[in-house]
Amino acid sequence: MMRTMLRSEREASGSFLKKRTKKLLSVLAVALIAQAAPAHAGWDDYPIIVWQDQTPARAAGLKRLGVDAQRVFGVRGPLTTAEVANLTAPPKAAGWSFYLENIATDFYAAYHRYQPDHPVTWAFDQARALPRDDPAAFLRTPSLSDPHALAAIEARLATHARLFAPYHPLFYNLGDETGIADLAAAWDFDFSPASLEGMRVWLRKRYGSLAALNTQWGSHFASWAEVMPTTTDAAIHGPADNFSAWSDFKAWMDTAFARAVRAGTKAIHSADPNALSGLEGTQIPGWGGYDYTKLASAVDVMEMYDAGNNVEIAHALNPRLRILTTTTPTTLAAAPAEQARLWHELLLGNRGLIIWDEAGVLVTDDGTPTPLGQSVGTLFHEFHDGIATQLAATPPAPSQVAILYSPPSFRIAWLLDRRADADRGQDWRTRDSEIEGQDSPLRAAMRAAATTLTHHGIPARWISPAMLADGVLRKGIRVLLLPHTIALSPADITAITAFTHHGGLVLADTPPALFDAHGRRRPTPALTGQVHITPGWQDLPDQLTQAGITPAVSLTHPDGTQVQDIDIRAHRHGPTNILTLQRDMDPPGTTGEDIVLTLPNPAKITDLRQHQSLGQTNQIRLHVGAAQPVIVGWAGEATPVNSVTQK
């Protein structure tokens, strides 16, 4: 799941094609494309970006395959207009746009970045090797809260935005594979003076008084200057009833990371109000600053792989967020699973693709497409020629089912797991980002809840604790799912209780609210009697049916049995409907098969990938392949006609 296998950061010392002739797939497609006018003038519907530098001949060949943008490195030293002109000359000559890469990776990814004489994790490995009692082990350099470091980074970013603005880059990448420590690894950064001072100010706003903090933490600080958090070692080996002093510090570090990212975004926007800021290599929800309730709105663009439902969560919390992903041509051509992944992420709302073609396998030196290039170029052109724009123009259908994304529950569940590990002699400090990216009961519960819904054609709405407080449950939600939600605040509980009193149904896979949102164990679990426990979500479809929530469409095998392994996603904009159907790629070797799609009413259906009308019907037979999806659309009022079959 980590992007390290695809690329390392390259140290740097130093338009998009707006006049594209779009393929008009149908009357429906024309309307959708018109609705999807890009908010950013430099960003068309689906940029395909090559990361490596190219000769003019190779660039011309790649352009014919659908590649239309390139990476340009940011500069960490002095930057001049002449150097900007020099850096932008290659993409300009190719007729391409570009994005600015790695402008401030040295700050935002200080513990995971390319260094010519060390591994990318060298700085993090050095910190982990220090003795437990050495304060330097937990001092992030530079601190995310250091005003001098932040000012220098903001100045660098603003300079880039000001000087590159005339060239209209797609976005300015703050950093690649960023994080508080090494990607999503857990670590007790940052105990530096600047961080602790920032934490105390933040805690004072949250608690209001030192007495309130002492009551929550079970501490006896005489002044705010004395307030110190608990280390992970102390939390693992200490009492099991109150982790507040540890959990609050972890929440503060997520806040500090998001604030630093937001400061970079603000610097770019201040120099160029039309610019977009971004992060590459964003990670699975968890450690390293990847609390998406804080991070999703801190930038305009994220490059990520779908892991831990991060794409859906980030999009739900910031619907304007533009998401890209990265692929390698050899993997894309050879592995159906990689093709399926790109399609899946497009269906989730992906808005662009970065090509990591280190070996230059798509075209020859004279620009002639290789057989591999021709193969993947077909996919590139399909993404370009309207399908991405149609999906972007049509938001997910409204949902009556919400899933709560709970970072406090992640923190407490993680600590409880590490306490169990310690009893078996396992040391949390040996866990790296790869291990932290693996499944946990909470992540498995989140994924199972979301997958169960999409397999039954029921859209889900991801919500955050802050959205609970803002009254989201009063806005058309009828069912709330709590996946492994063991930590809830009093405000969360009040909102959920009011929801149940007004007829809302709350389902959980495990008893919720064992702890408050700070990490203090409750004497008795909250919400007892108000939540229906559904281990593994096995009974979820039946419970939704009993609550009156049924899918808008039916998907069955030709023999009438229910299809269980196809991801069904509905999009709607006014009278326009788009339905995407994609088969699961698990287990490997899965093959396609025919299915029967039944709509509630007859409609004139268009196959948006094959560019053809399927007739006016309410039931149609389709073939859903192993990797690529079926995408159909319909609009307007329907009249009864006989069903048709399309193979």
Give dist(CA 488, CA 497) in Å, integer: 12
Do 415 and 514 contact (CB within 8 A), yes or no?
Answer: no
Mean pLDDT is highest, among 324-328, 591-595, 610-614, for: 324-328
Given the structure tokens 């409750």, which residue do they identify? 522
For residue 107, which of 154, 153, 157, 158 has the smallest C-alpha distance? 153
Instruction: Give the mean model confidence (pLDDT) for residues 403-410.
Output: 98
- In the chain, residues under CATH classification 3.40.50 are 401-546
610: Cα within 13 Å, side-chain hemisphere: 15
Is the per-residue pLDDT at 332 higher than 90? no
Give the per-residue pLDDT at 509. Answer: 96
Give dist(CA 225, CA 341) in Å, integer: 50
Q: What is the DSSP string of 469-513?
A: HTTGGGSS--EEEETT--B--HHHHHHHHHHHHTT-EEEESS---
**pLDDT digit string, tens, across residues 555-599:** 999 999 999 999 999 998 888 899 999 999 776 667 889 999 999
Confidence of residue 644 (pLDDT cuts 50, 70, 90): very low
**pLDDT digit string, tens, across residues 347-382:** 999 999 999 999 999 999 999 999 999 999 999 999
Confidence of residue 195 (pLDDT cuts 50, 70, 90): very high
* Domain 3-191+229-393, CATH class in plain words: alpha beta
Is the per-residue pLDDT at 31 higher than 80? no
What would be the CATH architecture of the domain defined by 554-645? Sandwich (2.60)
CB burial of 316-334 (b: ≥16 within 10 Å; e: otherwise) equals bbbeebbbbbbbbbbebbe
CA angle (351, 355, 359) in 5-degree steps: 175
Instruction: Give the mean model confidence (pLDDT) for residues 498-518.
Output: 97
Give the per-residue pLDDT at 136. Answer: 92
Do 590 and 625 contact (CB within 8 A), yes or no?
Answer: no
**pLDDT digit string, tens, across residues 429-464:** 999 999 999 989 999 999 999 999 999 999 899 999
Beta strand extents in 477-625 (DSSP E only): 479-482, 505-508, 532-533, 554-556, 566-573, 576-583, 593-607, 612-624
Give dist(CA 386, CA 178) in Å, integer: 32
Give the torsion sign (CA, 189, 192, 194, 195).
positive
Provide the residue type at 529 as one letter: G
Give the per-residue pLDDT at 35. Answer: 42
Neighbours of 30 (CB within 10 A): 14
Provide the residue type at 580 as one letter: T
Answer whether the bond into residue 587 is a cis peptide, omega within 30°: yes
CA angle (308, 309, 314) in 5-degree steps: 120
**Which one-letter DSSP state was computed for residue 4?**
G
Confidence of residue 133 (pLDDT cuts 50, 70, 90): confident
Confidence of residue 474 (pLDDT cuts 50, 70, 90): very high
Do 172 and 154 contact (CB within 8 A), yes or no?
Answer: no
Angle between helices 147-164 and 81-94 (to 10 degrees): 50
Instruction: Give the mean model confidence (pLDDT) for residues 288-304.
Output: 98
**pLDDT digit string, tens, across residues 64-84:** 999 999 999 999 999 999 999
Mean pLDDT is highest, among 142-151, 338-347, 533-542, for: 142-151
Q: Radius of gyration (Cα) for the chain, nearest Å?
A: 25
Question: Structure tokens of 170?
Answer: 């797609």
| pTM for this prediction | 0.92
Provide the residue type at 130 as one letter: L
| 632 strand-pairing partners | 579, 607
| Residue of 358 and 29 predicted with greater confidence | 358
Burial class (CB in 10 A: 0-12, 13-18, 19+), 518: buried
Give dist(CA 301, CA 322) in Å, integer: 5
| 461 strand-pairing partners | 402
Given the structure tokens 């400061």, which residue do they identify? 263
Is the per-residue pLDDT at 3 higher than 70? no
Do 55 and 365 contact (CB within 8 A), yes or no?
Answer: yes
| 533 strand-pairing partners | 508
Q: Helix, strand, coil: what percent of the chain each, to 5?
A: 40, 20, 40
Is the per-residue pLDDT at 164 higher than 80? yes
Provide the residue type at 507 as one letter: L
| 506 strand-pairing partners | 480
Confidence of residue 390 (pLDDT cuts 50, 70, 90): confident
Is the per-residue pLDDT at 384 higher than 90? no
Give dist(CA 53, CA 357) in Å, integer: 10
Which residues 6+ apart lie within 8 Å of 164 measured at CB? 84, 88, 100, 172, 272
- In the chain, residues under CATH classification 2.60.40.1180 are 554-645
User: How far is C-alpha 93 from the chain's CA centre?
Assistant: 33
Give the torsion sign (CA, 420, 426, 430, 435).
negative
Is the per-residue pLDDT at 12 higher than 70? no
H or E stretch at 176: strand 172-176
Confidence of residue 44 (pLDDT cuts 50, 70, 90): low
Give dist(CA 644, CA 152) in Å, integer: 65
Give dist(CA 326, CA 3) in Å, integer: 8
Given the structure tokens 């000559």, which residue do they identify? 93
Which option is the CATH number for 401-546: 2.60.40, 3.40.50, 2.30.30, 3.10.450? 3.40.50
Is the per-residue pLDDT at 45 higher than 80? no
Burial class (CB in 10 A: 0-12, 13-18, 19+), 78: exposed
Average pLDDT of the chain, as a whole number: 90
